[in-house]
Structure 1
């Protein structure tokens, strides 16, 4: 099936019908108004439908055998569906239509405006016994592709169309499929597979048109051979007619000469003076000879007339045959002109297809360039990805090392905390007892100092007398009690950041300690 060219043509036409119907419905819905005859997607839809209906048409058994038309198949709808008779009558009454092709085009447009095109197509496709009179067994209308297209036509019932039809335009239209609008629709997706599929479809269409062109050329050659043979036979018949005319003229001249001779003989016999006969027997013999001579002349005249009549009938037959040959020659000339026109249309279509093929090749080259640039970009990105993966692997190793170090540090910290806890547990009680003892000693010392101050009324390290207890101060470093003049200095202590009051002795000692300690 894949290698059957007829099957490939049917598949290509079905795909084109799908694209045309889909594009027409989408554009019509986006347009949002009634369609007219100048709407490009609608024109392309009719062209595609015309190609579908022409596929596999049988050749008419007439002298103009190459003129194929689908009008006869569309006339079957009137027989199968009586309501379609109105469309057929309107087509036949349409002024200016001269060809069956124009009538078929007008019928398609009227059926679309009535939103009955899908129903009518299904009606005739279901009667393949009647369609077999017009189509070959492997034609699109006889296969399942025709039923698929008829089903797709149901979607056209959602659009409204108001078409102006002129007979001259319908007869002279050139049915060429414009693939550019479908390529625009498919060009939105920059997939090379779809581009290749469209190029394959265009190439199939191009091969189909070239095959049709070859068939038309062969038909033209056959018709040219027939025309040459008819011209030769016409020349021979003309020569035979001239010979027959000359022969008729000669016979007419012979008949006139025979008439003249017979009349002359009769006249001479009437006026001729016969010598006197001696008796009655001689007179009777003379009458008998006269009757015999007149009978011979009448018989010769009758044969001449009979021959003249035959020659006249022969001439009439030759003239009729010549008229028939002249009519056939005129029909041949008309068919030659129509075939030349069809060939010109096919050549124009072939030129357009070649132009579209060149456009597709340019698009394919652009797609290939884009794919190459995309491949280069993907290679660069893959290289960057490889580098990033290497860096990620390195960072993962570093993270693992850091995690190992962190775990080790946590273990060390836990050990240190445990040691600190054990240290505190071991020495906490001793430190508390020492602090208690120190506080007791300080209290005892303070009591002793206060008691001695009360007794002597002087400070411990100062001999100034008459110093009252109320003006005594305590050194924050050694906790000694002194007079106000002996505790007038301030220094920051190791146990306090803020400056505290100290005695003169502690002040000198702390200054020496701070001077010897590096900052």
Structure 2
């Protein structure tokens, strides 16, 4: 199953790459008759069929792709339009044909990667249709879905009604992706691997530069936010002090007004008593009493005027208090906007983390390639050792043959000197010796030719060894560069962790100011609602109402809160409670 997953991943990479390159060369618009597009749908069909559980139906056993693809409609309401159009097509009679039509419509809608990403995140749903070692349940499925994002640049013009999707043969044509010349293919593959490693190195360097720039920008934003937050806190404290002072002054004015009113009433009572006494005792002096009465009325008017002035000043103080309350509301709105910017910064940090994970995966692949190169060098060294051993054996045999030839020549000379009379017998022996010499010469020529071929093979092997050593040196240099990039990556991770800690502290401060205490990221390892463990694909999210940490599926709702006029993220429990509260308030 692991080999099948690897082969399907490689075929998906080749088909997607060829489709994008051909689409860019032909103007990005493809028809259903285009062979690379047909092969892409065949490869996707094989990827989705891998590891499907066999289900027993009324007509027998079958493997249907339409089951898991139909579940996308429940996960994403936007896919309901595609599913409804597939069901309404009159020419489709089998589930396989509906699945093929669904793939074509999703590609035309440019939502294929999004729909499949939603599907692979729900392992509980896929486990009902696939076995545990299927492509859709392993890491290869996530890689294939990530590759499908590149197909959003393609404009596909497909006619689903006119095609016979039920009876199409889903066979992968490997001839589109094979090379004719094996030596050229190997050299191109080796050069392509080296070019890919260099491209990855340049990409990692550029990515590190971009990360450094983004981290600096984030640091500047965090510093500016801290300064603005401190200023806002100071202004808020000053505004609170001003409100307290105004309330104290208002209280003093009210007490003074009440004292003045009491005094005026007492004066009026005294004046009325004096007036009555004078009227009773001094009836004859009418003129003096009238003057005193006029004076009392004048004093009463002055006291009324003074009371009116105090009331006007009280109205002015009340208006000032309303203006201060409006300023407080504006300050709270500004603080909520700062909270939204902090949430945006946290999303950017999450994206930086995802980029670091991709860099780590590419580094692991480069380490695997280096290990393969080292194994190849070890095999070549063993082969050269074997060739040198055979060369030594051949040289030993050549020396033995030369010794036998020298001994034969000495024997011929002795026979000529000692037995000149026995010519006939000597001629026969000489003929036999000459035959032996001819055989030895032919053997010597064969051995020399063999030695020459072995020397040529040894030279070629030495050249290949030199090339491999040069490649090994380049790989060692790349390994050093990789270690350096890994150190820089660790430094960037430390900086990102510090930035996350600072953002968590800011979030805690802002949450304390807003009345809710946010749970720290390191204190939560599982979702509070569904109790699933957090991972790279399952991220952490805070509820803006209760401050707890949930996964994306349990906190994908947004509602406006009393502290925030804009809709913010809330968990499912708070969403239900707030909706119930709103409905009760409305009734």
- Asked if these proteins are the same fold (TM beyond 0.5), I'd say no
Larger RCO, structure (CA 8 Å, separation 6 or more): 1
**In terms of Rg, which structure is larger?**
1
TM-score range normalised by the length of the shorter chain: 0.3 to 0.5
- The alignment's TM-score, normalised by the length of structure 1, stands at 0.38
- The alignment's TM-score, normalised by the length of structure 2, stands at 0.34
